[in-house]
């Protein structure tokens, strides 16, 4: 059993549908995970674009996700979880928006199973700070990569 993250909206390595991009409906895509390790006390999810011109751009962080959860529904806030501040300055999901003509960008949805129920971060922590706080508590990681290009 391998911890894995999937989406019914797109396959690993495939194009992320327009409705999940900022110029679309800017909905968070539905996500489903399986085979979390024993001892998981919470989950954290981040979305990053390492192809951004100025370096890795962070689009979303959701943390303190209930350990009994196995999915995030499309476009919904996560009950009893918290969101970090993304690089747009927002405390919610913001989808792909690469610069026009910059080519294909790869969006990494990274889910980690943690050995702690809560992360000790500020209520307005940046996505990078959320991931930094999560690292010492990671039991397992799963990743889903989608692509997007602005023409």
User: What is the pLDDT, as a whole number, of residue 80?
Assistant: 84
Per-residue pLDDT band for 41 (boundaries 50, 70, 90) equals very high
pLDDT in tens, 44-101: 999 999 999 999 999 999 999 999 999 999 998 788 899 999 999 999 999 999 999 8
The residue-averaged pLDDT of 11-16 equals: 98
Instruction: Kindly provide the b/e burial profile for residues 117-132, where b requires at least 16 CB atoms within 10 angstroms of the residue's own CB.
Output: eebebeeebbbbbbbe
Which residue in this structure is represented by tokens 């006390």? 41
The tokens 């943690």 sit on which residue?
114
Angle at 142 between CA 138 and CA 38, to 5 degrees: 55
Q: What pLDDT is recorded for position 123?
A: 86
For residue 82, the model assigns a pLDDT of 95
Question: What is the per-residue pLDDT for 151?
Answer: 84
Q: Is the CATH code 3.90.280.10 the one for domain 4-148?
A: yes
Tokens 């059993």 label which residue?
A: 1
Structure tokens at 146: 């989608």
Give the per-residue pLDDT at 143: 98
Q: What mean pLDDT value characterizes the chain?
A: 96
What are the structural domain ranges in the chain? 4-148
> What's the longest Cα–Cα distance across the chain?
45
Mean local confidence (pLDDT), 9-18 = 98
What is the predicted pLDDT for the residue at 117? Answer: 97
Q: pLDDT (tens digit, 9 = 90+) per residue, 97-114?
A: 999 989 999 999 999 999
Rounded Cα distance, 49 and 96, in Å: 8
> pLDDT-derived band of residue 18, with 50, 70 and 90 as boundaries?
very high
Question: What percent of the chain has a predicted confidence (pLDDT) above 70?
Answer: 100
Segments in 1-150 forming alpha helices (H): 127-134
Closest CA to 87 of 117, 122, 125: 125
């Amino acid at each position: 059993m391998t911890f894995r993250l999937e989406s019914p909206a797109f396959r690993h390595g495939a194009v992320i549908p327009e409705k999940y991009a900022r110029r679309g409906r800017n909905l968070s895509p539905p996500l489903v995970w399986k085979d979390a390790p024993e001892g998981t006390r919470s989950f954290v999810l981040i979305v990053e674009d390492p192809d951004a011109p100025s370096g890795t751009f962070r689009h979303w962080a959701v943390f303190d996700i209930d350990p009994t959860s196995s999915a995030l529904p499309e476009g919904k806030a996560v009950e009893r979880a918290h969101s970090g501040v993304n690089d747009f300055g927002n405390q919610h999901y913001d989808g792909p928006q690469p610069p026009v003509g910059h080519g294909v960008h790869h969006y990494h949805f990274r889910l980690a199973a943690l050995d702690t129920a809560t992360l000790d971060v500020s209520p307005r922590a940046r996505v990078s700070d959320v991931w930094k706080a999560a690292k010492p508590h990671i039991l397992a990681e799963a990743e889903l990569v989608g692509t997007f290009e602005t023409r």
